[in-house]
Structure 1
């Protein structure tokens, strides 16, 4: 028998020496408890494998069954592996000799098959924990465990159902084994969620399951591997359409999810927000209009704005920023969707509502042409062309504007009573305000938002549009504007929008209203003149704004790739302490440094903890442990503090002092496992690289955390714009404010020439 492991059920551990005599063992470092409740003190040689340790324990304890039937776990039921054995020995962790994962999985599947009310809860409670282990999961699935688990979900309620759903949620963290879930199972989960009576501990895992199904679409598999993942056995066979089709069958389901954003249980609100974000991120063309319309009808924006105003939303910050980014994409899509009343009934209905609110009659102009849309402020009767730059977004804003003002007909009559050259083109002004607000909030369709703070006014886009359009009409009148002054009034409105919407995350709404409603023309003009001294009027022209939008997208993509390269290269961090930890319990960790690196497949974050920094080789050989990127639900910042005496300029604090979070700290949070990692970056640049880089790897992510990244995108955009403009302004080329398309061909008797 090897001297590496000593075991005894007595108080004085002993071992068999090589000469046949017994000798006192060294001080034991671990206690091992058997299934019979016997605790033995052992000294385990760290160089042994887990199999060798189990084999020697079985021999020492005279266990007759094969050692392969057993395994070691710690007190939290974490499986002891060759990778973490040394760590647990060093930390003197109490261990348990238990069934091997495969054996435990077979017994669990059998218990589910012959379940009864007395043992089902205990079985499911254990299943929640063990199902994440691949050795357990593989055996459980091969013994028809998935079908048995689905049957439990279909037939139980209360805490039993909560345990079963959590087990399913944890199983779905694996990228295999649940591809046979069918539509009836999805509908069952939808029914559970749509019930207002469902317990919170039932709704949380049910919401997470739907989110996982939404994200498990074929495109996700292709992004991860570069190959088609729709082949047999792939879990990437669900997606938005399959889930939403089942959601549509349960009336009020989406409304219930939106209502839960106001839940007193922060975790429930977070889960609901994450599901909504995943649906927004993965909505396909077939159901996009219906889904977005339903969300708007349920006023989800208002629910999120309400969350912004709460004082205890730290756990929701990332979700809210993701929602802002998703709504930016929704707004961009609306803006680029052409208005077509001939083929889209909703467009025709909106135009009809606008005309009804105007309460005007169609007449003929001097050329006997119908005079209708020009009466409410368009330049032509071609309504499709009039909305070509602002799309459905402009149509919705104009409708909201006219329907929200009972005096709108009176306003139009007042304009029509003026000489034609003095009339304010109200509808054209509405569309121009849409353009100005899109410019202000960088609605360029980049795929990500560079806002690092809450934008409640953006989520109230139409409400701000209403105020700004009224301001436009007032400035037109107060300045005595005429036909040729449209661009001048636009410049005034742009200046006021920038001023009124400053510090959006902290300004109260009533101040914004006052800025638009109460300010005098002369004050706006004076401020604008000062601004003109500092900027070139060239930058406000439409072609230049469009060029900036294109360069913005390119700049963001460049920064995104740069951040990802930083993750692939890897970096050293300090293992931090959560700020909520009791100060008196804080000790300097034995391995305070961690090196992390993202794998080439962008699926796992590999790392190693160390007492000192050392040169890490390329690849993953030096990084034995890993974190699944798909498990990260949020990258929280400013959450933890450095341990004592790790940084040279930090001294140990007295026990009464509280831990102060480092501004360079971040935590990788899981929706159901808490914090996966608590780190402190060595500098601001590394912190920005990793917090934003990791956010960009998440399937439901889309926001930027750092002002540094946002600043890089803006700086690259402006530099690129100035370089492009040098080619034009250097030659004194005049850039028009807009381009007017010529008349369409009279017939189809023409062709496009081939230009060399």
Structure 2
């Protein structure tokens, strides 16, 4: 500033030579942003000459003049020269001028004019500031808003930022100061001109940091709009609210109510009444729908009306389908719509102050941080509402839900939106999000719900939840142990390999098959060899041989170990083995240390030191399931741990079901019966020897 002679600079601004004026105003634009220089410039009479150049100059002289005037207003100086003539000139430039450097300065001036506080001013002064100051000029140049929105597609990022700043200023001023009937019209006009799509594209652009401040402000203004719409209570006294309700009703293709006919000679007079469930058939709880918009206000009405208008055929078809069902099975379309609106409202944290977003921006500089801060999908609120509502309809049909299940379905949609919308990156297109919402499988959603539920309880309960898991695992282990032992009690057929020479002579086969069954007292394993498998199981008394389980030392098998878990095994024949084989080993007492005694009878007396371990019985299961049942059944009856993956999975399955039932607090009749609950069976004739075959042939 010290090197600039302000008086001389002002004098050159009034020169008749354009080159002199151009150089003077070029130097001015670099210094006018200093408030002390601005005061001296105004004192020297420079403001009048700058205004003249702004109104009449052209080319670079005009560009430098506009930039200088914009910077002067930014330091809150020079407002006395702002009037309707100046505003009209700036609007004209924005509409008609193609040069970027002129458009930037012109838009910056209008941002200051629109954003300048104008509360407490007299009516004559207030017309100079705010959106109101632009309306006379816009009336002369009605294409102003269209041109402004089109600048958002410019390749010049600085121009895009200027245009968006001006749009933001117009929106904020309109929302704040215009009447309740005026600002929605202005917002709708901007949307019709394509501002949502243009800003959405900018938010997904790679040059996000260049445009971050105005984009963040637009995102915050979107939340302001949503809050403002939600805070407007629905009222039958407002014509636009009555029209919206009537539009929803008419879009449903309503059938008239019963006709009343009275005969008078050949004349028949008919009077038509409204359907007795005019609003309830659309999914409202009562015939007074206004009260049900209490929580989501006019925003809930807008979302429902937008869906009905854009998907009228789907809406009518669904109502027709629902009309054939009992009332409790009909999908509550209106309540579902309001629920989805509420879910989106919470998901995008609409109640969060826009100032919080601005503070977050100041703290975030990296690209990854900006990616988290911006939510382009918020701009496509209506499309997300429709997609969420259609997902609700799909789940309602898939689950055969009823009215009392509404809250459960709403929670499922909440999880779906949190997963798909919340998990979408900044650059993910809204159409891809819609398709994912439409194709998300119900069973995946249920799994996700349980994972989230367990994480929630894990955070809340911690050690207590782990203790519950341990208890349930022990209970599941005991349950599966009983189930496996029941398989042994039921008995099974096994094939024999009479060609095997590796076994002791006392265990070689003479028949082609054998039947094995555990005794009722669970102390002996009875078996016998047969020439063929009979249609039915032989009686226990018909089995000539038995093994006292107290002399069994080990049960081994050629079942291969599961590579994913060394502690478990899977029912799979090991390489180069003819078939799955289970071998039962035990101790048989010898006579004077030599020879074999009969090893299949009762336990012999004597210490183990005088006994020799030998093969007591070999089983060749016919299937994988039988192999798992008998191998783990024998191990568990000997109080050893099961080793097959089938049994391990079954234990985990039972334990997890128990945990989920406790977490969800599901009533047995809710989980097991879709229709009427059957009567509880009587206990007459029951003894203590019974169990529930919950898993059938597992």
Q: Quick check: 1:183 aligned with 2:84?
A: yes
Rounded Cα–Cα distance in structure 1 between residues aligned with 2:136 and 2:53: 24
Separation of aligned partners in 2, 1:322 and 1:339 = 28
Where structure 2 has 5 or more consecutive residues not aligned to the other structure, the ranges are 261-272, 361-371, 461-698
- Write out per-residue CA displacement over residues 551-587 of structure 1, whole angstroms, 9 at most, x where no aligned residue: xxxxxxxxxxxxxxxxxxxxxxxxxxxxxxxxxxxxx
Partner of residue 648, structure 1? none
Match of 2:306 in 1: 400
Match of 2:453 in 1: 532
Partner of 2:217: 322
Aligned to 2:337: 430
- Measure how far apart 1:440 and its partner are: 0.7
Indicate yes or no: 2:205 matched with 1:205.
no
SS at match of 1:355: helix
Counterpart of 2:536? Answer: none
8 Å contact kept, 2:234–2:294 = yes
The answer to whether the 8 A contact 2:300-2:341 is kept is yes
Q: Tell me, what secondary structure is at the counterpart of 2:217? A: helix
**Mapped partners of 1:339, 1:296: distance in 2:** 23
Deviations 1:76-100 (CA, angstroms, capped at 9, x unpaired): xxx24xxxxxxxxxxxxxxxxx553
Among candidates 360, 373, 388, match of residue 254 of structure 2: 360
Q: Does 1:254 align with 2:149?
A: no
Please report how far the alpha carbon of residue 363 of structure 1 lies from its aligned counterpart in structure 2 after TM superposition: 3.0
Greater CA drift, 242-251 or 121-130:
242-251
Determine the C-alpha separation between the residues in 2 that align with 1:473 and 1:162: 57
SS at match of 2:79: coil
Distance 2:296 2:123 in 1: 44
Contact 1:332–1:444 under 8 Å retained in 2: yes
Distance in 2 (alpha carbons) for counterparts of 1:272 and 1:231: 29
Contact map agreement 1:176 1:235 (CA 8 A) in 2: no
CA contact (8 A) 1:217 1:240 kept: no
Q: How far apart are 1:272 and its partner, in Å? A: 1.0
Please give the secondary structure, in 2, of the residue aligned with 1:119.
helix
Q: Are 2:26 and 2:64, in contact at CA under 8 Å, matched by a contact in 1?
A: yes
Kept in 2: contact 1:440–1:498 (CA 8 A): yes
**Cα distance change of structure 1 residues 334 and 443 upon mapping to structure 2, 3 Å threshold:** same
Report if aligned partners of 1:365, 1:371 keep a CA contact under 8 Å in 2: no
Distance 1:121 1:100, change over 3 A: closer
Q: Structure 1 length as normaliser, TM-score?
A: 0.52
Alignment of 1:215-294 (within 5 A): 215-218=115-118, 230=121, 238-244=129-135, 246-283=137-174, 284-286=176-178, 287-294=182-189
Change (3 A) 1:292 1:181: same
Quick one: which of 19, 35, 39 aligns to 1:138? 39
The alpha-carbon deviation at position 239 of structure 1 amounts to 2.8
Asked if structure 2 preserves the Cα contact closer than 8 Å seen for 1:453 and 1:505, the reply is no
Residue of 244, 248, 253 corresponding to 1:350: 244
Equivalents in 1 of 2:188, 2:236: separation in Å? 18
Match of 1:477 in 2: 397
Q: Is the 8 A contact 2:204 2:376 kept in 1?
A: no
| Conserved 8 A contact 1:105-1:136 | no
- RMSD of aligned residue pairs (Cα, Å): 3.2
Does 2:11 align with 1:107?
Answer: yes
Larger Rg: 2
Higher alpha-carbon deviation: 410-419 or 348-357 = 348-357
- Kept after mapping to 1: 8 A contact 2:131/2:173: yes
Deviation at 1:341, TM superposition (A): 4.7
CA distance in structure 1 between the aligned counterparts of 2:122 and 2:253, rounded to whole angstroms: 59
Residue of structure 2 equivalent to 1:156: 57
The 5 A counterparts of 1:641-656 are none
The 5 Å alignment of 1:683-722 reads none
Q: Aligned equivalents of 2:416 and 2:285: distance in 1?
A: 25
Task: Check conservation: 1:336, 1:392, Cα contact below 8 A.
Answer: yes
**Of 3, 6, 24, which aligns to 1:123?**
24
Q: How does 1:377-456 map to 2 (within 5 A)?
A: 377-405=283-311, 406-444=313-351, 446-450=353-357, 452-456=372-376
User: How far apart, CA to CA, are the structure 1 residues paired with 2:259 and 2:414?
Assistant: 33
**Aligned-pair CA distance for 1:163:** 1.9
Q: Measured at CA, do residues 365 and 331 of structure 1 come closer, stay the same or move farther in structure 2, by a change above 3 Å?
A: farther
Q: How far apart are 1:323 and its partner, in Å? A: 1.5
- Choose from 274, 279, 282 the match for 1:376: 282
Alignment CA distance shift 1:147-1:380 (3 Å): farther
Instruction: Summarize deviations over 1:624-665 as a string: whole Å, max 9, x none.
Output: xxxxxxxxxxxxxxxxxxxxxxxxxxxxxxxxxxxxxxxxxx
Match of 1:503, SS state, is coil
Relative contact order, higher structure (CA 8 A, sep 6+) = 1
Q: Distance in 2 between matches of 1:253 and 1:311?
A: 28
Structure with greater helix percent: 2
Alpha-carbon distance in structure 2 between the residues aligned to 1:536 and 1:483: 28
After superposition, the C-alpha distances for 1:111-140 in whole angstroms (9 at most, x for unaligned) are: 42x534453322322332343344543343
Q: Does 1:523 align with 2:444?
A: yes
**1:403 positional shift:** 2.3
How far the C-alpha of 1:365 sits from its partner, in A, is 12
Q: 1:246 to 1:290 in 2, by over 3 A?
A: farther
Secondary structure, in 3 states, of the residue corresponding to 1:172? helix
1:311 aligns with 2:206: yes
**2:670 alignment partner in structure 1:** none
Asked if 1:467 is matched to 2:358, the reply is no
Tell me the distance in 1 between the aligned counterparts of 2:321 and 2:86.
Answer: 61
Gaps of 5+ in 1: 1-78, 81-97, 220-227, 540-756
Partners in 2 of 1:234 and 1:404 — Cα distance? Answer: 44
* 1:386 CA displacement: 2.5
Tell me, what secondary structure is at the counterpart of 1:124? helix
Q: Write the distance in 2 (CA, Å) between the matches of 1:486 and 1:136.
A: 67
CA deviation after TM superposition for structure 1 residue 470, in Å: 0.5
CA distance in 2, matches of 1:263, 1:278: 19
User: Do the aligned partners of residues 247 and 380 (structure 1) sit closer, same or farther apart at CA in structure 2, a change above 3 Å counting?
Assistant: farther
Mark the CA change 1:448 to 1:424 in structure 2 (over 3 Å): closer, same or farther: farther
TM-score of the two chains, using structure 2 as the length reference: 0.56
**In structure 2, C-alpha distance between the alignment counterparts of 1:330 and 1:187, rounded to whole Å:** 29
Where 2:164 maps in the other structure, the secondary structure is helix
Q: For 2:34 and 2:414, how far apart are their aligned partners in 1?
A: 57
Deviations 1:256-281 (A, max 9, x none): 11111110111101111122222333
**Number of equivalences:** 428
User: Per-residue displacement from partner, 1:650-691 (whole Å, max 9, x unpaired)?
Assistant: xxxxxxxxxxxxxxxxxxxxxxxxxxxxxxxxxxxxxxxxxx
Alpha-carbon contact 1:240-1:282 (below 8 Å) kept: yes
Cα separation, 1, equivalents of 2:324 and 2:456 = 38
- The answer to whether the 8 A contact 1:362-1:372 is kept is no
2:604 is matched with none
